[in-house]
């Protein structure tokens, strides 16, 4: 282990104290509402932290065979699994790793439900309502490939269907859930009496500072009063890892063209922070503000050959120097699960800052990691 400042390499650092803070809040909400909150691997899958997670939650959610295997082998419990399309050769192994299995379409259900074993079977539903503004992340946009609308359901569900799964949020507040819940009930309440559980998916950002926890508690508890037989499940990803750590990078050069100064870093947006280009998501940069005015304004550029591998204009209070740290805050969720090695760019190390003040390096990457991806 090493002290927090004893590194000169790019590194993701997750802080144990902040992670436990989020986990405790989620655990408390689950206890107060008799609901189940499970970790979605699509946003966070650092398995070396799973022993900490197991102190607060009991299950996870997977969307692929590899995630299902991660649940069984590293988290130590069967998962809730949903995939837009199961693949025949993988299906039986997914079943062996799953406690719940949700189908996206009738054709998928008809093809595989007889092979679901003892898994509790669910159907993904589409309430045709979502307040997600970024089309790339909106699962209810016209022409979506996700879920069944109410008019596609028979009056009586197949006997082995025990649950509904609905996902239509993205870093949303409790007020969004309140409005969405109205649409879900209006369209799908006639089938609730035939079910055992309902999964309201992810995107519930209850660990955000301005999130209305009291409203969330009321919504869940009053829903439970209306449908006491239904087990209520949530599967956020970002909420668990929200503001739990940073990506530490360094300036390797400063170039200028037509009055625009770009500080080139030893990390890449397209490789290591893809949501900054896709969503787009703008993290805080320690010691800087988003602004194109001031004496020390820089565009921050990645170190890949992609022309668009840069983000914004940032105003600093001093002239940047080669070797200087640039720290991107809140860089733990939807980062390590989405990174790539385009251009052979080295992957940042991954570390955990423990509550007792030392930094444990969980993983370092080298040439073999790049080579073996194409082996």
Predicted confidence (pLDDT) per residue in 69-96, tens digit: 999 999 999 999 999 999 999 999 999 9
Across the range 208-224, mean pLDDT stands at 97
Q: Indicate the burial class of 342 (C-beta count within 10 angstroms; 0-12, 13-18, 19 or more).
A: middle
Q: Indicate the burial class of 360 (C-beta count within 10 angstroms; 0-12, 13-18, 19 or more).
A: middle
Q: pLDDT value at position 2?
A: 42
CB count, 10 Å around CB of 204? 26
Read off the pLDDT of residues 142-195 as tens digits, 9 standing for 90 and up.
889 999 999 999 999 999 999 999 999 999 999 999 999 999 999 999 999 999
Q: Is the pTM of this model over 0.85?
A: yes
Read off the pLDDT of residues 225-279 as tens digits, 9 standing for 90 and up.
999 999 999 999 999 999 999 999 999 999 999 999 999 999 999 999 999 998 8
Read off the pLDDT of residues 82-133 as tens digits, 9 standing for 90 and up.
999 999 999 999 999 999 999 999 999 999 999 999 999 999 999 998 898 8
Beta strand pairing call for 60-62 and 310-316: unpaired
**Residue 137 reports pLDDT greater than 90:** no
CB count, 10 Å around CB of 265? 25
Looking at the DSSP bridge assignments, the partners of residue 246 are: 13, 329
């Amino acid at each position: 282990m090493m002290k927090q400042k004893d590194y000169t390499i790019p590194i993701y650092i997750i802080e144990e104290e902040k992670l436990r803070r989020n986990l405790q809040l989620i655990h408390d909400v689950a206890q107060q509402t008799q609901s189940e909150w499970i970790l979605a691997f699509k946003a966070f899958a650092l398995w070396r932290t799973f022993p900490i997670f197991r102190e607060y939650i009991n299950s996870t959610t997977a969307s692929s065979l590899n995630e299902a295997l991660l649940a069984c082998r590293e988290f130590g419990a069967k998962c809730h699994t949903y995939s837009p399309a199961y693949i025949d050769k993988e299906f039986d192994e997914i079943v062996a790793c799953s406690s719940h299995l949700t189908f996206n379409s009738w054709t998928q259900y008809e093809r595989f439900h007889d092979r679901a074993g003892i898994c509790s079977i669910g159907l993904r539903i589409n309430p045709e309502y979502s307040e997600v503004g970024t089309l790339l992340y909106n699962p209810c946009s016209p022409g979506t490939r996700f879920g069944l609308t109410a008019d596609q359901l028979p009056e009586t569900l197949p006997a082995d269907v025990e649950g509904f799964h609905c996902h239509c949020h993205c870093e949303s507040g409790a007020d969004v859930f309140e409005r969405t819940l109205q649409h879900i009930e209006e369209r799908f309440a006639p089938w609730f009496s035939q079910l055992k559980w309902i999964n309201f998916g992810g995107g519930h950002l209850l660990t955000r500072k301005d999130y209305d926890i009291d409203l969330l508690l009321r919504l869940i508890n009053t829903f439970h009063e209306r449908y006491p037989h239904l087990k209520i499940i949530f599967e956020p990803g970002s909420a668990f890892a929200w503001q739990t750590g940073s990506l530490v990078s360094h300036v390797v050069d400063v170039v200028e063209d037509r009055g625009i100064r770009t500080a080139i870093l030893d990390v890449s947006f397209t490789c290591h922070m893809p949501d900054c280009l896709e969503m787009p998501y703008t993290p805080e940069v320690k010691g800087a503000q988003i602004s194109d005015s001031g004496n020390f304004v820089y565009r921050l550029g990645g170190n890949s050959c992609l022309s668009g591998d840069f983000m914004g204009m940032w105003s600093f209070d001093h002239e940047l120097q080669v070797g200087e740290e640039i720290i991107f805050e809140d860089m733990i969720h939807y980062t390590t699960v989405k990174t790539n090695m385009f251009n052979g760019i080295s992957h940042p190390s991954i570390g955990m800052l423990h509550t007792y003040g030392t930094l444990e390096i969980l993983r370092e990457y080298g040439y073999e990691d790049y080579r073996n991806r194409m082996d």
